[in-house]
Amino acid sequence: MTSQQRRVAIIGATGIAGQQFLVALAGHPQFEITALAASARSAGRPYRDAIRDAAGAMRWWCGSGPPSGIMDLPVQNAAEFDPRSVDIVFSAVESDAARQLEPRFAAEVPVFSTASAFRYEPDVPIIIPGVNLDHAALIDTQRRQRGWKGYVIPIPNCTVTGLAITLKPLLERFGIRHVIVTSMQSVSGAGRSPGVLALDVIDNIIPFISGEEEKVEKEAAKILGKVVGEAIEPTSFSVSATCTRAAVLDGHTETVSVATEKACTPEAAAAAMSEYRGDLAGLDLYSAPRQMILVHPDPFRPQPRLDRDADGGMATTVGRLRTERTFGHGVKYMLVSHNTQMGAAKSAVLIAEYLEHVGRL
Amino acid sequence: MTSQQRRVAIIGATGIAGQQFLVALAGHPQFEITALAASARSAGRPYRDAIRDAAGAMRWWCGSGPPSGIMDLPVQNAAEFDPRSVDIVFSAVESDAARQLEPRFAAEVPVFSTASAFRYEPDVPIIIPGVNLDHAALIDTQRRQRGWKGYVIPIPNCTVTGLAITLKPLLERFGIRHVIVTSMQSVSGAGRSPGVLALDVIDNIIPFISGEEEKVEKEAAKILGKVVGEAIEPTSFSVSATCTRAAVLDGHTETVSVATEKACTPEAAAAAMSEYRGDLAGLDLYSAPRQMILVHPDPFRPQPRLDRDADGGMATTVGRLRTERTFGHGVKYMLVSHNTQMGAAKSAVLIAEYLEHVGRL
Amino acid sequence: MTSQQRRVAIIGATGIAGQQFLVALAGHPQFEITALAASARSAGRPYRDAIRDAAGAMRWWCGSGPPSGIMDLPVQNAAEFDPRSVDIVFSAVESDAARQLEPRFAAEVPVFSTASAFRYEPDVPIIIPGVNLDHAALIDTQRRQRGWKGYVIPIPNCTVTGLAITLKPLLERFGIRHVIVTSMQSVSGAGRSPGVLALDVIDNIIPFISGEEEKVEKEAAKILGKVVGEAIEPTSFSVSATCTRAAVLDGHTETVSVATEKACTPEAAAAAMSEYRGDLAGLDLYSAPRQMILVHPDPFRPQPRLDRDADGGMATTVGRLRTERTFGHGVKYMLVSHNTQMGAAKSAVLIAEYLEHVGRL
Amino acid sequence: MTSQQRRVAIIGATGIAGQQFLVALAGHPQFEITALAASARSAGRPYRDAIRDAAGAMRWWCGSGPPSGIMDLPVQNAAEFDPRSVDIVFSAVESDAARQLEPRFAAEVPVFSTASAFRYEPDVPIIIPGVNLDHAALIDTQRRQRGWKGYVIPIPNCTVTGLAITLKPLLERFGIRHVIVTSMQSVSGAGRSPGVLALDVIDNIIPFISGEEEKVEKEAAKILGKVVGEAIEPTSFSVSATCTRAAVLDGHTETVSVATEKACTPEAAAAAMSEYRGDLAGLDLYSAPRQMILVHPDPFRPQPRLDRDADGGMATTVGRLRTERTFGHGVKYMLVSHNTQMGAAKSAVLIAEYLEHVGRL
């Protein structure tokens, strides 16, 4: 670890979401993983043993293998982990655990979380880098109201990410009245516990994901809203979501119809999206995509298999931009966003990079 | 063949769409297949040989095997087929061939077709049984204007079928202003020549089906329109379609958002759909579903794999009925419709059954 | 229930294996379900409620819906179920539970089980109907040694079923020296707890199924062995199995290479298999396939999707019979067997039908 | 192009196999693509236009996009292409075309081909780099007998590649008597014309690939054989292949049972494979894998999705090494080999690299 590097803990390090943090932070120039924590069941063993099952098979689920550097790190019991031993906590635990653990960690250091536990608290922003990093202003409110030295910043539900990223330039340039979105989500979005059974999704579409549509509607409104005083005023436009599951491994595909306030041609929408840099403009952060949104002219794009990995899974790909004639003004389009890259750990890491850049880490 | 049975020819009998006619007519009480025709390449051989490839493998693609009764029927050259040898023609040829062949057949006998060739002619109705059998009134116009003894009745694109069936009761009871639909279509909708490659759709969503969205929008408006004088006046409400392909074998899934003219709760929409019998009410036709629309209360339905075969693939299954808050009044829902049953041959057969019933065959 | 009907209990009735018993017994002429039992968690509620989850969705996983007749039957606690209230028990519980429960039930009545708990006991036969019903002779041994009024008869692992069925006629007619088998198993073979995750099997082959190969090798040897005195002498030929999982919903596919003792052409093997009736010959049992083995001449068969449902899933389909030149004498072939029909509940029901027929129930 | 670089032509450059050559050669230090050729239909247009369809969609099927450098290269008519304009030809045309074109090209320059046209000619070796580069000795025979300045070297059928690579170290160290192999091949192995239809392989296994088993048996024997005088003497051991198609995008999986001449434990086989470097030992060729064979101890490996890309798709991954008790001595194992990397263009490029290294290009 160089002297500039921050010490980082991964909580929930043995699960699939935690493993994605390990991959996102492998070789990171600013953040070094110095602590791993998980449930009591895994605690006390080096990481290499903690992810082996009884039969000796490695329970590791990311494309690239586990970073060699962390294999010997001992896994600590998350319930007893001392956050003062690190500078930053990345939390990848389930929501119930997050509700217990994260306040204790946030009392000491910044916590970036994939859990939904705190997303709907008035003093907690849900942040997508490039879209609403300015919502980090609520950090001060959190600290004051809760008496924390650190803070909690959750990232949104992975289905919201691509939607909010592509709506933001439309909102800024044309205004938005209504959004209707249908998602065809990948199975990795459900994780592994219990995850989506092959029996349920092969040769099939699963038409319902419990709680997902409410999250999409509520989180999009908050993310695209404005900080007003010490809270976020959600957007006033409606989002109507239908969320389905398809036999796709990674990458959420969404069809989006948008009623805009001002006239908006497909070409103008494409330009707004392609040019959009948002609050990452001019920065050169390690995990940031070179371009937030890639607009494809080929009508056969975006496809989740072909486009999910664009720019390391950090860019959102848009295609099929057409006029939406249902509304006075409007466009419709499709998007693909990588639910386990920009929609998960790497997004949280990018937020941390930004906050370090602006001196708020 | 009993004396009441009509003699039926299947044109395009060796292709997958033609084979679906063979299955739909196997054991039919009123229609007996007495002639088969296909391209010159297959002509002159008994059917059992015409569907064997060079290696001796049977080129038959429907779940149940070919009906035994037709295996020895000689396959005739469609270009030379004499329609006067039968009472009815069911045509399952490609659109270009249909444009050549169907007028010659319709000059003599009724032709029911899965091809799109004549769908957009002003004097040709596109019929979905249960929805707009009254459009068959254009038969007289066709005969007079074209000097035919018979007529041509095409069925619609298979993606329109479930959509129009579920919109019809909403239209009648609540009026419709706008429709936004996203389809996740099965691979059987593309047939086999060339069909959808496994390479393209495994672990993927294909975001575009060439020409499909235009067909959905145009055909729905015509089918749900009204016969005015000697033509069909399409509906005035807009249909905005996004058509995609998913890794599903059979059954098209669609998410539908509808702006209604009058207030419409999900419960009222469910009742309207469940009670809907349309122009099949009171009849007891052989191929008709017992109920046009099955409304499922379980939020995990409809699923294409579980619901496509409802009532022999002739019923449309609806679920997830919710208020669509985007519009002043509205509902949203999902549907599954079997694209190769109610969306193909069996639908054409059911139309013929109806027209026989009303003495127009 | 007519006076001839036997009263039947399903243990593990809420799980997927138990549901398969419900379907297998729906409308059965001899057996009537009069009792359902499951874990304490489900007990005390009518079946229709016991299979609803917290959100109200029905947890039912068989193609056809649950038989209406049993929806109001109360689910009893399996741990407290009194076997004297029925004539037969069908057990579909996990192996650990089976080890506890089945002896208590077998003390009173015959128990037919899908669990592996007792398969390897010397006095317990593993039975496949049509193959080794004569092994039921061990019933007397069981009763005497264990002091039971009833007995336990387990069916084999579902991967063994098609293998043993197709080997039996070869064994009888040609003798067998060696068998090498590779299976490509369907995901339904793993059930739902935890089952196979879509994440693991889409665009993939899973090369290992824990414990499966040992079961295939051991159970095939026992099933194809002979009753000698009060035990079964397993066959002396070797079975070498490699078991894999493929992205197939139902139906296990296996490639089999067999070294025979006598000369055996593919034609002779086909004849032996096609003619094979085994110990179901001349009986006309309700659940029996008309033919044990269907031999397909088309090289593109068998395919799991096209052939798994042959004869209600009770027939095994064989194709690609060729000479296996590796051995002095031999054949190789592929088979498809429905793992949740002949490989599960329906097989157990068929054994019970046979034993009733011969007066041993 | 630097002065050391060889000028390379890709024949069949618009098809999927040709595109794999473009990717394999992008940025290559020794070979520069200076000519592209395809059928007359594509000829006369810059590559970027030749791969656009009528609707403007790009017909490019490799994961990474087309190398920018070749987009403006004109596509020539293969039938008229002058081989003297380049130093090397890589041919990716269909077998019929290869039979016509390749002799004309080989008369002037070395031709490396993915086509089967010349594989079975006595003076033509089928080469897998690392396994039998010594068979290139037949170049002289070819030149003399055919009067060519160049030569033709085909690579084998993609299903043979992983098999022959893993058998070679066993053959060298233990001798081989028999091989029984079952393949579960990916759909990309069938290309796109016509390719494997999604309708045929979703929820299915296709049990037959026309001509494939004969190719595997014949080509393995030739590749593992010895140059004797002016011809190759094939191995005397038997290979018995069953080739199937699974719903996998890329990567062929094979289960292999091997009877060895000498005693061979799984550990000894693992060591032989892991240590195997073959005729690439000590060289540091650009496209070569660091290790020919990766032996995995985890029983859940190899999996095509996880292992096909090992070392850029150039390494073969082996797992599940166990004793094969069927034979006196023997082992069984599973392998995964990337059919469109080591099994296709990159393999041909690696052969060319080797021949340049030894001064035979």
> DSSP 3-state assignment of B205?
coil
Percent of chain C at pLDDT exceeding 70: 99
Domain that holds residue C146: 6-155+345-357
Please tell me which chains touch A, using 3 or more CB pairs under 8 Å as the contact test: B, C, D
Percent of chain A at pLDDT exceeding 90: 92
Q: What is the pLDDT of residues B120-166, one digit of tens each?
A: 999 999 999 999 999 999 999 999 999 999 999 999 999 999 999 99
Q: Would residue A260 count as lying in a domain? A: yes
Which residues of chain D from 290 to 309 reach within 8 Å of chain A, CB to CB? 297-300, 306
For residue B206, pLDDT beyond 80: yes
In chain A, residues with a C-beta closer than 8 Å to the C-beta of C196 are 197-199
Question: Are D176 and D42 contained in the same domain?
Answer: no
Question: Are A110 and A236 contained in the same domain?
Answer: no
Exposed/middle/buried for residue C228 (C-beta within 10 Å: 0-12, 13-18, 19+): exposed
**Which DSSP letter does residue D50 get?**
H
Question: Are A183 and A322 contained in the same domain?
Answer: yes
**pLDDT at position B69, please?**
87
For chain C, the average pLDDT equals: 95
What tokens were used for C203?
Answer: 């665009």
**Residue D309 CA: distances (Å) to CA of A20, B200, C55, D313, D315:** 20, 19, 42, 4, 8
Q: Would residue B92 count as lying in a domain? A: yes
**pLDDT at position D300, please?**
94
Q: Would residue B133 count as lying in a domain? A: yes
Q: What is the pLDDT of residues A283-323, one digit of tens each?
A: 999 999 999 999 999 999 999 999 999 999 999 999 999 99
Q: Would residue A1 count as lying in a domain? A: no
Q: Point out the residue among C58, C202, C298 whose CB comes nearest to the CB of B58.
A: C298
For the beta carbon of residue B75, count every other beta carbon within 10 angstroms: 25
Per-residue pLDDT band at D3 (split at 50, 70, 90): low
**pLDDT at position B3, please?**
62
Check CB contact of A137 with chain C, cutoff 8 Å.
no
Beta carbons of B299 and C58 less than 8 Å apart: no
For residue A58, pLDDT beyond 70: yes
Alpha helices in C130-211 (DSSP H): 138-146, 158-174, 198-201
Residue partners of B6: CB distance under 8 A and separation at least 6: B30, B31, B32, B86, B87, B88, B356, B361
Q: Point out the residue among B195, B199, B202 whose CB comes nearest to the CB of D199.
A: B195
Question: Are D264 and D317 contained in the same domain?
Answer: yes
CA A128, CA A344: separation in Å to the nearest integer? 10
Which of C28, C135, C243, C252 is the catalytic position?
Answer: C252
In chain D, residues with a C-beta closer than 8 Å to the C-beta of A56 are 297-299
Beta carbons of A184 and B178 less than 8 Å apart: no
What tokens were used for C179?
Answer: 């068998």
Question: Are B333 and B353 contained in the same domain?
Answer: no
Q: Are the C-beta atoms of A75 and A34 separated by less than 8 Å?
A: no
Q: Would residue C69 count as lying in a domain? A: yes
**pLDDT at position B50, please?**
94
Residue partners of A217: CB distance under 8 A and separation at least 6: A238, A239, A240, A241
The values of phi and psi at residue D320, to 5°, are 55, 35
Percent of chain B at pLDDT exceeding 70: 99
Q: What is the pLDDT of residues B219-247, one digit of tens each?
A: 999 999 999 999 999 999 999 999 999 99
Q: Point out the residue among D55, D201, D210 whose CB comes nearest to the CB of B198.
A: D201
For residue C64, pLDDT beyond 80: no
- What value, to the nearest 5°, has the Cα angle with vertex C92 and ends C89 and C96? 110
Q: Looking at chain D, which residue has its C-alpha nearest residue B211?
A: D55
CA C233, CA C163: separation in Å to the nearest integer? 19
The values of phi and psi at residue A247, to 5°, are -80, 65
Q: Are the C-beta atoms of B11 and B100 separated by less than 8 Å?
A: no
CA B128, CA A189: separation in Å to the nearest integer? 39
Catalytic residues of A, by residue number, are 158, 252
User: In one letter, which amino acid is B197?
Assistant: L
For residue D1, pLDDT beyond 90: no
Beta carbons of C203 and D240 less than 8 Å apart: no
User: In one letter, which amino acid is B299?
Assistant: P
The structure's pTM equals 0.96
Average confidence (pLDDT) over B101-113: 98
Which of B28, B135, B243, B252 is the catalytic position?
Answer: B252
Return the CATH number at B305: 3.30.360.10
Residue partners of C123: CB distance under 8 A and separation at least 6: C138, C141, C142, C145, C146, C230, C231
Rg of chain A over Cα atoms, rounded to whole angstroms, equals 20
Question: Are C237 and C349 contained in the same domain?
Answer: no
Question: Are A147 and A186 contained in the same domain?
Answer: no
Which of A247-261, C51-65, D235-249, D272-286 has the weakest average pLDDT?
C51-65
Q: Are the C-beta atoms of C83 and C104 separated by less than 8 Å?
A: yes
- What value, to the nearest 5°, has the Cα angle with vertex D210 and ends D205 and D211? 130
In chain A, residues with a C-beta closer than 8 Å to the C-beta of D300 are 57
- What value, to the nearest 5°, has the Cα angle with vertex C183 and ends C179 and C185? 155
Question: Are A149 and A163 contained in the same domain?
Answer: no
In the block, tokens 């769908």 appear at: B119
Percent of chain D at pLDDT exceeding 90: 92
In the block, tokens 């070796």 appear at: D125
Question: Are D33 and D137 contained in the same domain?
Answer: yes
In chain D, residues with a C-beta closer than 8 Å to the C-beta of C299 are 207-208, 210
What tokens were used for D241?
Answer: 């292949």
CA A25, CA D149: separation in Å to the nearest integer? 55
User: In one letter, which amino acid is B265?
Assistant: T
Q: Point out the residue among C178, C184, C240 whose CB comes nearest to the CB of D205.
A: C184
Q: Point out the residue among D58, D203, D298 whose CB comes nearest to the CB of A202.
A: D203
Compute the Cα dihedral for B129, B135, B138, B140 and give only its sign.
positive
> DSSP 3-state assignment of A240?
strand
Which of A85-99, A258-272, C59-73 has the weakest average pLDDT?
C59-73
Q: Would residue C1 count as lying in a domain? A: no
Assess whether C338 carries a catalytic annotation.
no
CA B95, CA C211: separation in Å to the nearest integer? 55
Query: What are the DSSP calls for C245-272, one per residue?
Result: E-S-SS-EEEEEEEEESS---HHHHHHH
**Residue B193 CA: distances (Å) to CA of B190, B197, B294, D335:** 8, 10, 33, 34
Question: Are B10 and B96 contained in the same domain?
Answer: yes
Check CB contact of A197 with chain C, cutoff 8 Å.
yes
Average confidence (pLDDT) over C47-62: 85
Residue partners of A316: CB distance under 8 A and separation at least 6: A161, A162, A165, A166, A292, A293, A294, A335, A336, A337, A342
List the beta bridge partners of residue D334.
Answer: D255, D319
CA B267, CA B265: separation in Å to the nearest integer? 5
In chain A, residues with a C-beta closer than 8 Å to the C-beta of C199 are 61, 187-188, 192, 195-196, 249
Average confidence (pLDDT) over D105-117: 97
For the beta carbon of residue C337, count every other beta carbon within 10 angstroms: 33
Give me the number of domains chain D comprises.
2
Q: Would residue D1 count as lying in a domain? A: no
Question: Are D38 and D82 contained in the same domain?
Answer: yes
Beta carbons of D197 and B203 less than 8 Å apart: no
For chain B, the average pLDDT equals: 95
Q: Would residue A74 count as lying in a domain? A: yes
Question: Are D205 and D349 contained in the same domain?
Answer: no
Average confidence (pLDDT) over C222-245: 96
For chain D, the average pLDDT equals: 95
Per-residue pLDDT band at A193 (split at 50, 70, 90): confident
Return the CATH number at C66: 3.40.50.720
Beta carbons of B187 and D198 less than 8 Å apart: yes
Q: Are the C-beta atoms of D278 and D292 separated by less than 8 Å?
A: yes
Average confidence (pLDDT) over B259-280: 97
Average confidence (pLDDT) over D146-165: 98
